[in-house]
Amino acid sequence: MDFAPTREQEMLRDMVRAFAESELAPNALSFDEKGEFPFEALKKAAKLGLVGIINSKEYGGSDMGHLARMIMIEEISRVYPPLGFYFQTGQIGMYGLQNFGSDEQKKKYLPPLCQGDTVMAWALTEATGGSDASTLQTTAELVGDEYNVNGRKVFITAGETADVVGFVAKAGDGTNLLLVEKGTPGFTTPRREGRLGLGSIPVSELAFTNCRIPKENLVGQEGRGVRLALAGIGAVGRPGAAAVSLGIAQGAYEVTLRFAKERNLYGKPIVQLQAVQFALVNMNVEIEAARWLCYYTGWLLDQGKSPGEIGSDIARAKLYATDVANKVCLKAAEIMGGYGLIPEYQLVRRLRDALEMLPAAGAQDVQRVIIGGAIAR
């Protein structure tokens, strides 16, 4: 087993870190406070090859793979988690297109997405449930050459700004994975919901009212919608969420460590007080453990394992990294005292973002269901 990062992986990390520090760090607080998602930075990230990192070069991607993607999302989330979170959902659709889409669909949608000229959203969740896909209510009825879509999706990241949305609807006896473009008559993004964390990400409902989409917008085979969706969530959404949580934990840890080295109490920096130091040590250990669970997941995917084969590994990464992120942020707030809860200390936003990761890509207990299912058999 060779655990050493390759030169390319090191250079990737350095590049994404430099990108995050220069494009995201200076305005992280104000992105959240003003609710302004850094779409400009997203576009620059695309030009650097980060958006299409798991897409093939043939369609404009950079094809560096899933482990590279984990590193990238970690580094971005270390500085500004909402952008990392965007990658988590935005790349699900791109994975779906890459692996299940037709040649025409790939040629049409992937290059502009990889260049950052367009943005894609992913819509599975409905009011009746996200984790239980059998409760889908949105329908897509084939009428001639078109699907007539009716229904509503909730908690959709970038739903109102996306140029194209990948979504799942009931069709006949099964479900279909379909694409709808912005501006299609009958497709609206009626309400933007407020949230606790991931501050600047535009989140909305999607409403389909007799929305007609061409049948060419079916991705993959008829009836396979939910299975393809779960593959995408498994390969991209869930590992991505794990990497976001990892980045949040790392960022919060660094903020607290720096504070502990500068803050003097009882005649010395508090990092020299054993209780504080041990708390930081615990963070250090847990983040490192989370890191390897995350990277292992990426590595397995790069080895060609299907998300179904490695469901437990993926679930472990999301479950553990997210728990660690929340623990770290809470403890960090304790260590930093009153300052920990002042926004300008850059911890509060991370604490909020960590909470948002709990339901993302499957609630924590859903991850347990997956692993439990495997061990209890």
CB of 49 to other proteins, least distance (A): 3
Which region, judged by CB under 8 A, interacts with other proteins, from 5-13, 122-130, 298-306, 314-322?
5-13
Which region, judged by CB under 8 A, interacts with other proteins, from 192-200, 222-230, 308-316, 344-352?
344-352
Q: How far is CA 304 from CA 155, 220, 316, in A?
A: 31, 20, 19
Which region, judged by CB under 8 A, interacts with other proteins, from 6-14, 168-176, 216-224, 311-319?
6-14
Which of 2, 132, 145, 344 forms a contact with other proteins (CB under 8 A)?
344
Residues 206-235 that bind other proteins (CB under 8 A): none
Would you say 12 or 198 has its CB closer to other proteins? 12
Please tell me whether residue 68 binds other proteins under the rule CB under 8 A: yes
Would you say 12 or 329 has its CB closer to other proteins? 12
Q: Which residue has the tokens 């935005």?
A: 90
The tokens describing 172, both together, are: 């006949």
CB of 43 to other proteins, least distance (A): 14
Would you say 53 or 231 has its CB closer to other proteins? 53
Which region, judged by CB under 8 A, interacts with other proteins, from 11-19, 182-190, 296-304, 316-324?
11-19
Please tell me whether residue 345 binds other proteins under the rule CB under 8 A: yes
| Identity of residue 268 | K
Q: How far apart are CA 156 and CA 322, in angstroms?
A: 20
Q: Shortest CA distance to 138 belongs to which of 86, 186, 198, 191?
A: 186
Would you say 48 or 330 has its CB closer to other proteins? 48
Please tell me whether residue 62 binds other proteins under the rule CB under 8 A: yes
Which region, judged by CB under 8 A, interacts with other proteins, from 170-178, 200-208, 341-349, 360-368?
341-349
Q: Is 89 exposed, middle or buried (0-12, 13-18, 19+ CB in 10 A)?
A: buried
Would you say 193 or 262 has its CB closer to other proteins? 262
Which of 58, 262, 334, 365 forms a contact with other proteins (CB under 8 A)?
262
Read out DSSP for 322-356?
Answer: HHHHHHHHHHHHHHHHHHHTSGGGS-HHHHHHHHH
Q: Shortest CA distance to 28 belongs to which of 354, 329, 347, 327?
A: 347
CB-side neighbour CA atoms (13 Å) of 353 = 37
CB of 246 to other proteins, least distance (A): 20
Q: Shortest CA distance to 182 belongs to which of 204, 154, 200, 201?
A: 204
| Other Cβ atoms within 10 Å of 43 Cβ, number | 15
Would you say 117 or 193 has its CB closer to other proteins? 117
Please tell me whether residue 14 binds other proteins under the rule CB under 8 A: yes
Asked whether 68 and 7 are in contact (CB, 8 A), the reply is: no
DSSP symbol at 189:
-
Strand partners, 192: 204
The tokens describing 286, both together, are: 């847990």
CB-side neighbour CA atoms (13 Å) of 171 = 24
Binding residues for other proteins, total number by CB under 8 A = 26
Q: How far is CA 34 from CA 101, 199, 200, 201, 357, in A?
A: 37, 9, 7, 11, 21
Would you say 44 or 195 has its CB closer to other proteins? 44
The tokens describing 121, both together, are: 């959203």
Residues 263-282 that bind other proteins (CB under 8 A): 263-264
Asked whether 297 and 62 are in contact (CB, 8 A), the reply is: no
| Identity of residue 142 | L
CB of 258 to other proteins, least distance (A): 8
Please tell me whether residue 29 binds other proteins under the rule CB under 8 A: yes
Would you say 23 or 286 has its CB closer to other proteins? 23
CB of 23 to other proteins, least distance (A): 10
CB of 322 to other proteins, least distance (A): 26
Residues 41-60 that bind other proteins (CB under 8 A): 47-50, 53, 57
Binding residues for other proteins, rule: CB under 8 A, are 7-8, 11-12, 14-15, 18-19, 29, 47-50, 53, 57, 62, 64, 68, 259, 262-264, 339, 344-346
